[in-house]
């Protein structure tokens, strides 16, 4: 395992931020580059205007025309949480705007693979849609779009993935990452793009009908879930979408499926955070697409009856338990295969695979290996649909653009990769089993070319130390309220030295602690998946959280890393 280096962020000026904020929050905000006071304001009125999203107006008018004509509308989604929430937002939103017939279709990842394929279009034949809207996919689906057009459908592509050199021949494409687009936020995920399209459709219909239509903010709980789950950069715009969705969830005005998933995970919806969505709801929703069929996840998000939602959530929970067992086994296999790798190894781009791995879980294994080794990773499993083919999922580290790396390999050796797509930190690909060794060498070579020794160091940036007087429930709740935290707007992480007053193992591999600061103030802590530390004092890398237990709420250190002082 790579050794973590703790490095405190440099001191920053906080004078430009509101004085009413807690001083620790001001310090954390400034350290994340918050430039002006407005960036701390997450009211919906500060959401970026849609005017600069390329082709949004023509797409909105096309959808509005179909709604007015009573057309059958198909939504072509994806089998992850972003695609599932985008599908649910479109179905719920279009129905709210008057759609008589709208149905979501999602590809079976084991038969059709990712995106809008001719096979998925063929699945829609009995429904015979007149309009097809893709969500979280489609920007590379040339054959699928062509098949839909030949079947008489008009096609609107909404996506956020990086565009290929040639775009599909859709009637309209809405994607902030297509060439020439001027939209200020390139971090919108699939459900965010879908939400912007529906908002534009609502405006067009309101102008035509000269009447007020239902507000689409009622679906921001779904937008928040998909945005958190897709691990996109939390710029100001995405933080607004997430915070507004969380407010609906905390008020109990969320989709019954989301509330049921939170409850099954033991999370209190009235105190829901982005971390609850990321670590409790999203994995259960994603489990359907990884092991079975994401249609059960979409049905859960579309269910209006709480009992129906609870039953579907229970199915997702069971799939997630199965997914966790498969993932743990595959992760152990991967680490065994990499046991000879040391921090000083010349190997930089890692490729892991075994013939008995499950293709639906390779992305999670890639993430786990990346975290353990701090290297870009591609994990492969045999394709269930195509004999002799491997399905791969790639995860990257800062400084290494994964999709561009795959494009570089593809340009140098055109016959090596069958197909690929994705973005900076994650990508998917497929290739023949016979090409694995050649790909492994090419991936390692491109990683070594683009990553410096400094980038390969596993550096954890911290927000420095907290004084004993700041280790309080007030600070913990202020930090929690200052979120949402996530990719590109990392949760506050502090370091400090403490006396070890008590430690005991709880569960299977967790350690419950009692620590004392320099002034003798004591505070509880929890360290997950670790063992007790020797000695009387420890250096700790931690998050400060408000922990509720048996009706009492107290500050607690959630320990990310620790070592003897």
The pLDDT tens digits of the residues spanning 86-111 come to: 999 999 999 999 999 999 999 988 88
Q: Are 85 and 229 in contact (CB under 8 A)?
A: yes
241-275 pLDDT, tens digit each: 999 999 999 999 999 999 999 999 999 999 999 99
Q: Are 459 and 7 in contact (CB under 8 A)?
A: yes
Query: Does a structural domain hold residue 266?
Result: yes
Distances (CA, A) of 171 to 77, 92, 94, 131: 18, 23, 19, 10
Residues 356 and 278 in one domain: no
Low-confidence ranges of the chain (pLDDT < 70): 1-2, 340-345
Triad 441, 445, 451: Cα angle to 5°: 140
Residues 180 and 239 in one domain: yes
d(CA 461, CA 321): 33
Residues 515 and 450 in one domain: no
Query: Does a structural domain hold residue 15?
Result: no
Q: pLDDT value at position 467?
A: 96
3-state secondary structure 493-558: CEEEEEEEEEEEEECCCEEEEEEECCCCCEEEEEECCCCCCCCCEEEEEEEEEEEEECCEEEEEEE
Contacts of 20 (CB under 8 A, 6+ apart): none
Residues 131 and 228 in one domain: yes
Query: Does a structural domain hold residue 356?
Result: yes
Looking at 458, 492, 509, which one is the last position of a domain?
458
Residues 427 and 465 in one domain: no
Contacts of 16 (CB under 8 A, 6+ apart): 30, 35, 36, 37
Q: Of 485, 492, 490, 493, nearest to 227 (Cα)? A: 485
Residues 76 and 96 in one domain: yes
Query: Does a structural domain hold residue 404?
Result: yes
Residues 60 and 123 in one domain: yes
Q: What CATH number is given to the structural domain containing 76?
A: 3.90.1640.30
Q: In terms of DSSP H, where are the helices of 102-141? A: 118-123
d(CA 183, CA 173): 14
Q: What CATH number is given to the structural domain containing 348?
A: 3.10.310.30
Q: pLDDT value at position 134?
A: 98
Q: pLDDT value at position 294?
A: 94
**How many other β-carbons are positioned within 10 Å of the β-carbon of residue 339?**
8
Token couple for 268 = 């209190």
Q: pLDDT value at position 338?
A: 85
Query: Does a structural domain hold residue 118?
Result: yes
Looking at 433, 458, 483, which one is the last position of a domain?
458
Residues 399 and 530 in one domain: no
The single-letter DSSP state of residue 73 is E
Q: pLDDT value at position 508?
A: 77
Residues 93 and 236 in one domain: yes
Query: Does a structural domain hold residue 326?
Result: no
Residues 443 and 513 in one domain: no
Q: pLDDT value at position 315?
A: 98
Number of domains in the chain: 3
Helix (H) / strand (E) element for 57: namely: helix 56-69
Looking at 398, 423, 458, which one is the last position of a domain?
458
Token couple for 83 = 């695609």
Residues 156 and 262 in one domain: yes
Residues 390 and 292 in one domain: no
Q: What CATH number is given to the structural domain containing 467?
A: 2.40.50.460
Q: Is the pTM of this model over 0.75?
A: yes
Q: Of 472, 530, 471, nearest to 497 (Cα)? A: 471
Query: Does a structural domain hold residue 332?
Result: no
d(CA 138, CA 194): 13
Query: Does a structural domain hold residue 26?
Result: no
d(CA 541, CA 519): 19
**How many other β-carbons are positioned within 10 Å of the β-carbon of residue 466?**
19
d(CA 367, CA 352): 12
Task: Identify the domain containing residue 171 by its residue range.
Answer: 51-318
Distances (CA, A) of 164 to 108, 139, 328, 417: 24, 7, 35, 15
Q: Of 542, 547, 525, nearest to 466 (Cα)? A: 542
Q: pLDDT value at position 549?
A: 82
Q: Are 286 and 301 in contact (CB under 8 A)?
A: no
Q: pLDDT value at position 1?
A: 44
């Amino acid at each position: 395992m790579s050794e973590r280096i703790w490095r405190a962020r440099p001191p920053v000026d906080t004078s430009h931020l509101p004085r009413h904020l807690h001083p620790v929050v001001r310090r954390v905000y400034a350290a994340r580059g918050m430039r002006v006071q407005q960036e701390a304001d997450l009211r919906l009125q500060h959401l970026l205007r849609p005017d600069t999203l390329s082709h949004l107006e023509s797409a909105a008018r096309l959808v509005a025309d179909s709604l007015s004509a009573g057309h059958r509308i198909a939504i072509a989604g994806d089998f992850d949480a972003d695609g599932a929430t985008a599908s649910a937002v479109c179905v719920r939103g279009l129905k709210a705007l008057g759609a008589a017939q709208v149905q979501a279709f999602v590809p079976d990842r084991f038969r059709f693979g990712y995106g809008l394929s001719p096979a998925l279009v063929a699945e829609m034949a009995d429904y015979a849609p007149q309009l097809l809207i893709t969500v979280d996919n489609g920007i590379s689906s040339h054959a699928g779009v062509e098949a839909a057009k030949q079947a008489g459908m008009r096609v609107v592509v909404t996506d956020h993935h990086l565009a290929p050199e040639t775009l599909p021949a859709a009637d309209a494409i809405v994607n902030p990452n297509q060439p020439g687009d001027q939209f200020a936020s390139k971090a919108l995920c699939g459900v965010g793009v879908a939400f912007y399209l529906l908002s534009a459709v609502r405006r067009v219909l309101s102008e035509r009908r000269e009447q007020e239509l239902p507000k689409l903010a009622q679906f921001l709980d779904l937008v928040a879930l998909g945005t958190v789950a897709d691990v996109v950069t939390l710029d100001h715009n995405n933080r607004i979408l997430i915070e507004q969705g969380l407010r609906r969830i905390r008020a109990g005005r969320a989709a019954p499926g989301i509330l049921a998933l939170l409850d099954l995970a033991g999370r209190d919806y009235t105190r829901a955070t982005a971390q609850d969505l990321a670590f409790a709801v999203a994995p259960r929703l994603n489990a359907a697409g990884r092991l079975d069929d994401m249609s059960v996840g979409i049905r859960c998000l579309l269910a209006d009856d709480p009992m129906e939602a609870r039953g579907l959530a229970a199915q997702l929970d069971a799939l997630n338990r199965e997914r966790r067992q498969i993932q743990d086994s595959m992760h152990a296999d991967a680490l065994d295969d990499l046991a000879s790798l040391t921090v000083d190894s010349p190997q930089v781009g890692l490729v892991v695979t075994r013939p008995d791995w499950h293709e639906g879980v390779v992305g999670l294994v890639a993430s786990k290996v990346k975290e353990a080794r701090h290297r870009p990773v591609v994990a492969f499993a045999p394709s269930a649909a195509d004999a002799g083919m491997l399905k791969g999922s790639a995860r990257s580290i800062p400084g290494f653009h994964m999709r561009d790396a795959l494009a570089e390999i593809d340009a140098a050796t055109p016959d090596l990769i069958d197909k690929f797509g994705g973005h900076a930190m994650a990508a998917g690909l497929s290739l023949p089993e016979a090409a694995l060794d050649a790909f492994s060498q090419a991936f390692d070579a491109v990683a070594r070319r683009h990553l410096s020794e400094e980038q390969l160091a596993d550096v954890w940036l911290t927000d420095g130390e907290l004084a004993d007087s700041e280790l309080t429930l007030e600070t913990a709740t202020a930090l929690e309220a200052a979120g949402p935290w996530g990719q590109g707007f990392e949760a506050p992480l502090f370091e400090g030295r403490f006396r070890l007053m008590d430690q005991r193992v709880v569960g299977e591999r967790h350690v419950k602690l009692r620590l004392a600061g320099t002034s003798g103030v004591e505070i509880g802590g929890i360290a997950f998946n670790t063992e007790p530390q020797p000695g009387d004092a420890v250096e700790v890398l931690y998050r400060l959280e408000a922990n509720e237990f048996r009706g009492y709420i107290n500050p607690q250190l959630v320990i990310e890393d620790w070592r003897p002082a």
